Amino acid sequence: MAIVLDGNRIRDEILAECRPRVDALAAAGRRPGLAVILAGNNPASEIYVRNKIKTCQALGIYSEKIVPAATATTEEVIELVESLNNRPEIDGILPQLPLPPQMDAKRVQLAVSPDKDVDGLHPLNLGRLAAGLPGLRPCTPAGILELLKRYRIPIGGKHAVVVGRSDLVGKPVALLLMHQHATVTICHSRTPNLAEVCARADILVAAMGRPALLTRDFIKPGATVIDVGTNRISYRAEAARIFRDSAEKLAEFDRKGSLLVGDVDPMDVAEIAGAYTPVPGGVGPLTISMLMVNTIEAAERNLGRACSA
């Protein structure tokens, strides 16, 4: 029987560890502060931001949601970011992705001070990650490492295959796994014999945004499978195919009008893997918890600099 890696449980552990750190900062005269920039009219982004603000409030972290005009330009958002860079009570700045098409997301991210880059996506922080130096880490990859460590899944000496090469997940999680002494292979859409490469993995990380693409042929028996994908299925026939006409899942589809599925076939992975993350409830909950960790870490560093000044 495969072990289901419960992201909700690990999230709760991490948040419980955050509370005394927030209390210590508050006792020192400053709460951590997070500013989230919500640009455009993306319903999914609005939900993500609402959950981030709610988590901040639960921990005692000061938070602001800033909503630029729908027609805001790249230059206007960069000006906003620069104003937040100069506010000492703001420790973390998060431009919620994706930004509207008229904005240059790369330029906006580059405008965020590396010390306040709680997404961990500034080139300086990514460079520190590549060099194995301390710094703010991308939230989802950092959450994956916490999940593996807290479930005591061995990483050192294992063969890890990462499917997906994005700056957000694929590249940084590969670096984090290498720093833990895994042998890492990065795959993508042009990798020949993808199933054969994946089937050699002791740890398989799927992060390419293709619903249920990785089937049993991609999974080594007993492997640990980390499914980062979150794909919404809106066609009942597709849901029936993926979930093998499961009465329970089809009833859920009829009730909600859609289902979430990862990048890995949910039925195959449960049969073949030794451990795996479900979708939902696996990697997703860890992203916000690691955002809180980054915000607290940034505040602790800022307090240390203020005390030594």
Task: List, for residues 89-128, the tens digit of each pLDDT value.
Answer: 999 999 999 899 999 999 999 999 999 999 999 999 999 9
Catalytic sites, residue numbers: 52, 96, 119
pLDDT at 274: 98
pLDDT at 94: 97
Buried b (16+ CB within 10 A) or exposed e, 121-159: bbeebbebbeeeeebbbbbbbbbbbbbbeeeebebeebb
Q: Which residues of the chain have pLDDT under 50?
A: none
Nearest-angstrom CA–CA distance, 172 and 160: 13
pLDDT at 132: 94
For the segment 1-49, what is each residue's pLDDT rounded down to a tens digit? Answer: 899 999 999 999 999 999 999 999 999 999 999 999 999 888 889 999 9
Which residues are CB-contacts of 132 (< 8 A; sequence separation ≥ 6)? 179
Q: Are 219 and 200 in contact (CB under 8 A)?
A: no
Amino acid at 254: D
pTM of the model: 0.95
pLDDT at 189: 87
> Residue 25, SS3?
helix
pLDDT at 307: 67
Bridge-partner residues for 259, per DSSP? 233
The owner of tokens 């104003």 is: 83
Short-list 286, 51, 34, CA closest to 169: 286
Nearest-angstrom CA–CA distance, 3 and 307: 46
> Residue 122, SS3?
coil
Nearest-angstrom CA–CA distance, 15 and 202: 29
Set out the domains of the chain in order of their start, with CATH numbers: 31-116 (3.40.50.10860), 139-284 (3.40.50.720)
> Is the four-CA dihedral 90, 96, 99, 104 of positive or negative sign?
positive
Helix (H) / strand (E) element for 224: namely strand 224-227
pLDDT at 43: 86
Measure CA of the first residue to CA of the last residue in the chain; give whole Å: 56
> Residue 33, SS3?
strand
pLDDT at 42: 85
pLDDT at 306: 61
Short-list 144, 91, 68, CA closest to 302: 91
pLDDT at 303: 84
DSSP string, 13-33: HHHHHHHHHHHHHHHTT---E
Short-list 146, 167, 174, 1, CA closest to 97: 167
The owner of tokens 């997301």 is: 105
Tell me how crowded residue 76 is: count the other CB atoms within 10 A of its CB.
14
Short-list 10, 28, 62, CA closest to 285: 10
Short-list 141, 134, 100, CA closest to 119: 141
